[in-house]
Amino acid sequence: MSAHDNHPEGVAHHFESASQQFDSGKLGIWTFLLTEVLFFSALFVAYTMYRNNYPEVFQFASQYLDTNLGALNTLVLLLSSFTIAWGVRNAMLGETKKLTINLIITLVCAAGFMMIKAEEYGHKFHEGTLWGGHEHSIFKLDANDVDPHMAEHSLAFNNPDGEFTAAVKDLDPEFRQKLGIFFGIYFCLTGLHGIHVLIGMILLSWLLIRNLRGEFGPKNFAAVDFIALYWHLVDLIWIFLFPLLYLIS
């Protein structure tokens, strides 16, 4: 019993002190982030390979992506990273109300990011700028498989220079198929990132509920700190995705 009496409050029995408990958690979350970086790296390697081999496909396909929406999403994610970093400060200082506000702003930003993303995806499904295997894709290898209405569609619609006006069906089949692969990579990369944003939203909601119950304070802020680290990683990945996908001139 005496050992229990001396045990610091809020520290699990297998840890000697609060700082040991905190350090263990921190090591754990950093190790998890390492696996996350490697998880995404496979898709980045696919991107690099493909861009190395077919730079002209990337230049052409990138015109279909809305740079303004991409930039807006970058700013939204950066703002959310700032508010969660501020939230960690709030938690360390025991500013519960400010932490609640910052968690809510972060959640709203995350939801805004997903809504903008949904708008972009919706537009692509409407225009048929999808991976080649999709039913409505305009980038199928055989032009006869492309929806006849879509096939007549001129490709100048999203071209800022307005110089290229070939119909989808008149594109070189090999080139059209490669455009489909670009969109496969685009949807995999942004989709996997989007799933991470959704998981982040669940975690942030959990933090919000716990904070409303008054569970966080200067001695117990580890969960806020660790989830903030995860959220920053999601931001980091988008920082690289944005120029790689949207800004190819």
Binding site for other proteins (CB under 8 A): 8, 17-19, 22-23, 26-27, 30-31, 33-34, 37-38, 41-42, 44-45, 48-49, 52-53, 67, 71, 74-75, 78-79, 81-82, 85-86, 88-89, 92-93, 141-142, 173-174, 177, 219, 221, 225, 228-229, 232, 235-236, 239-240, 242-244, 246-249
* Alpha-carbon separation of residue 217 from 9, 147, 229 (angstroms): 13, 59, 18
Q: Beta-carbon neighbour count of residue 245 at 10 Å? A: 20
Q: Cβ 154 to other proteins, closest distance in Å?
A: 23
Q: Are 219 and 18 in contact (CB under 8 A)?
A: yes
Task: Return the number of the residue (82 or 187) whose C-beta is nearest other proteins.
Answer: 82
Question: CA 12, CA 15: separation in Å to the nearest integer?
Answer: 6
Q: Cβ 63 to other proteins, closest distance in Å?
A: 12
Burial 139-173 (b: 16+ CB within 10 A, else e): bbeebeebeeebbebebeeeeeeeeeeebbbebee
Q: Cβ 236 to other proteins, closest distance in Å?
A: 5
Q: Cβ 228 to other proteins, closest distance in Å?
A: 8
Q: Are 158 and 173 in contact (CB under 8 A)?
A: no
Q: Cβ 82 to other proteins, closest distance in Å?
A: 4
Cα–Cα nearest to 245, from 124, 81, 107, 115: 124
| Residues in Cβ contact with 2 at an 8 Å cutoff, skipping those fewer than 6 apart | none
Q: Are 234 and 74 in contact (CB under 8 A)?
A: no
Strand partners, 167: 154
Task: Return the number of the residue (212 or 247) whose C-beta is nearest other proteins.
Answer: 247
Q: Cβ 3 to other proteins, closest distance in Å?
A: 17
Task: Return the number of the residue (44 or 187) whose C-beta is nearest other proteins.
Answer: 44
Task: Return the number of the residue (23 or 152) whose C-beta is nearest other proteins.
Answer: 23
Task: Return the number of the residue (154 or 174) whose C-beta is nearest other proteins.
Answer: 174
